[in-house]
């Protein structure tokens, strides 16, 4: 018997693209079920990450018209990584495998067939990796390549040109559930799980509709999040820089003493000013990096929930908040992490 597949699609203000995404996923699911690659109990789960438009209304309507579609509604906006984790952890008890992808249709839905083949061949994790960046601007292509290069040099184990388009088996999802970080960077956490993995290459399309949810500022923040969540290399760089500055200061001290002994002392105002500004800048930079890590420690020690789920539309498993029921608070909000 074929295994049960759940698609997990994080959504944030995706009302423009969601109907088309649902149509294409519906066609793909029916084709996969008909071919016998997946079970007829497979589902598509849209995760509403506190959208301010009609996204959740559309998800509700899709669920009412076709039981193939399910929905998870977070209590508020928690960010893409938390929304994705919320979806994966919610479907984990019900599926044999899950495929995560974005709602903007840039990920190639047809690549899922090859992912399933890799899964049935024994891979617990199958990464969707971009074969080229033809649709990107020069700036985005250059910054993306720089991002992956920087992550590699900082000691973080990520898959180059891979975002969050991946297949994970139930065993891999169970492994992911053991990671309790509040500061999430799934692109670095998933490779840490360590089960057999493989790669499927695909060409990434242009966004079907709407606007990108990752402008430059957010991308830079995401890069900092990834580095500081998974690597202590920046702290080591600060230590190395401190040693280098200390060695330079000793050399300057020896030079100054020799000049003093030779009676050739010079006021050296320019050199002194430059030294003060340079060392002051390095100190502030070091404090900023250390502060970033202290801030993450602060958030981790609080152990606040990474997400809270307000509603889960899934009538198959007896939990469908679209239908009137006498729910206790515990019944209505059973999912949180």
Does the pLDDT value for residue 19 go beyond 70? yes
Mean pLDDT of 233-246: 74
Bridge partners for 167 per DSSP:
99, 126
Torsion sign across C-alpha atoms 275, 276, 282, 285: negative
What is the dihedral angle through the alpha carbons of 165, 170, 171, 172, rounded to the nearest 10 degrees?
20
**Contacts within 8 Å (CB) and 24+ apart, 133-140:** 133/161, 133/204, 134/203, 135/204, 135/205, 135/206
What is the dihedral angle through the alpha carbons of 3, 4, 8, 14, rounded to the nearest 10 degrees?
120
CATH topology of domain 5-215+306-332: Spore Coat Polysaccharide Biosynthesis Protein SpsA; Chain A (3.90.550)
**Tens digit of pLDDT for each residue in 33-60?**
999 999 999 999 999 999 999 999 999 9
Q: Output the pTM of the full model.
A: 0.73
Give dist(CA 46, CA 51) in Å, integer: 12
Q: Which band of pLDDT confidence, cut at 50, 70 and 90, is reported for residue 323?
A: very low
Instruction: Name the burial class of residue 71, with classes exposed (0-12), middle (13-18) and buried (19+) by CB atoms within 10 angstroms of its CB.
Output: buried
Mean pLDDT of 281-299: 77
Model pLDDT, residue 211 = 62
**Helix residue ranges per DSSP H, the chain:** 18-35, 55-65, 80-91, 112-120, 138-153, 170-176, 186-193, 216-230, 233-261, 269-302, 329-332
Give dist(CA 245, CA 229) in Å, integer: 27
Does the pLDDT value for residue 243 go beyond 90? no
Give dist(CA 291, CA 224) in Å, integer: 13
Give dist(CA 91, CA 10) in Å, integer: 13
**Tens digit of pLDDT for each residue in 109-161?**
999 999 999 999 999 999 999 887 666 666 666 766 676 677 777 666 778 78
What is the dihedral angle through the alpha carbons of 153, 159, 161, 162, rounded to the nearest 10 degrees?
-140
Give dist(CA 16, CA 208) in Å, integer: 9
**Tens digit of pLDDT for each residue in 156-175?**
677 878 889 999 999 999 99
Model pLDDT, residue 326 = 33
* Domain spans, the chain: 5-215+306-332, 233-302
Bridge partners for 11 per DSSP:
48
């Amino acid at each position: 018997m074929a295994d049960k597949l759940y698609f997990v699609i994080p959504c944030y203000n995706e009302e423009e693209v969601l109907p088309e995404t649902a149509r294409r996923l519906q066609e793909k699911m029916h084709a996969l079920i008909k071919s016998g690659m997946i079970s007829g109990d497979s589902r598509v789960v849209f995760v509403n990450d506190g959208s301010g438009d009609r996204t959740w209304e559309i998800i509700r309507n899709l669920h009412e018209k076709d039981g193939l579609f399910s929905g998870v509604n977070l209590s508020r906006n928690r960010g893409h990584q938390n929304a994705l984790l919320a979806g994966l952890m919610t479907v984990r008890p019900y599926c044999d495998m899950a495929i995560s992808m974005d709602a903007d249709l840039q990920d190639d839905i047809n690549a899922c067939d090859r992912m399933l083949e890799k899964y049935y061949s024994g891979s617990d994790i199958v990464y969707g990796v971009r074969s080229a960046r033809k649709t990107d601007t020069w700036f985005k292509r250059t910054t993306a390549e720089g991002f992956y290069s920087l992550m590699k040099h900082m000691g973080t184990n990520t898959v180059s040109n891979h975002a969050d388009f991946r297949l994970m088996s139930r065993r891999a999802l169970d492994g992911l559930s053991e990671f309790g970080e509040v500061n999430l960077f799934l692109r670095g956490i998933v490779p840490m799980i360590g089960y057999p993995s493989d790669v499927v290459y695909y060409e990434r399309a242009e966004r079907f509709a709407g606007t990108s949810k990752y402008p430059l500022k957010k991308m830079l923040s995401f890069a900092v999040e990834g580095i500081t969540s998974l690597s202590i290399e920046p702290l080591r760089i600060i230590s190395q820089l401190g040693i280098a500055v200390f060695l330079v200061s000793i050399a300057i001290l020896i030079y100054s003493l020799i000049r003093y002994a030779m009676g050739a002392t010079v006021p050296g105002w320019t050199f002194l000013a430059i030294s003060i500004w340079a060392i002051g800048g390095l100190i502030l930079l070091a404090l900023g990096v250390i502060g970033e890590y202290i801030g993450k420690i602060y958030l981790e020690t609080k152990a606040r929930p990474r997400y809270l789920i307000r509603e889960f539309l899934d009538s198959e498993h007896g939990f469908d908040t679209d239908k009137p029921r006498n729910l206790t608070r515990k019944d209505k909000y059973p999912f949180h992490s």
